[in-house]
Amino acid sequence: MLPNAAHPNPPLVDLTVLAHLEQQFNDAGPARAFARDYIAGFGDRCLRLTRSLADQDLPAALEAALSLRNSSLMLGAERLVALTATFEAAISSGDLDAARRALPGIERCGLDTIRELETRYLDPA
């Protein structure tokens, strides 16, 4: 499910998605491990986006975007899903300038998402 125009500013993280994952496993451990793995892998995913775009390797850029979008979707990182979908659309249409313009926002949002996960989910006060 992609965000739509009805939600122009989706939340960084929809914690109900993680709560649902916890319920599916009847245990918070796997969901928390997934969140930690997501955080650990975010830098590599961003690097793949940047490198593939710099190399003008559109199939690799699309693959990297799909990886980031799908893992973000599974985590409930709705704002990052929306930004990554914009990047994907730019790559799919061959608009490399628009894809380049999207990268800083994806990185900032990803870092904000990580902080949100750390403070509201992994280590709530």
H or E element: which one contains 104?
helix 96-116
pLDDT at residue number 125: 61
pLDDT in tens, the chain (125 residues): 344 445 578 999 999 999 999 999 999 999 999 999 999 999 999 999 999 999 999 999 999 999 999 999 999 999 999 999 999 999 999 999 999 999 999 999 999 999 999 999 998 76
Distances (CA, A) of 3 to 16, 61, 78: 16, 21, 7
Show the domains of the chain with their CATH numbers: 27-122 (1.20.120)
Of 61, 64, 110, the residue nearest 90 (C-alpha): 61
List strand residue ranges (DSSP E) for 1-125, in order: none
DSSP, collapsed to helix, strand or coil, labels residue 87 as helix
Amino acid at 55: D
Spatial separation of the C-alpha atoms in residues 123 and 103, rounded to whole Å: 28
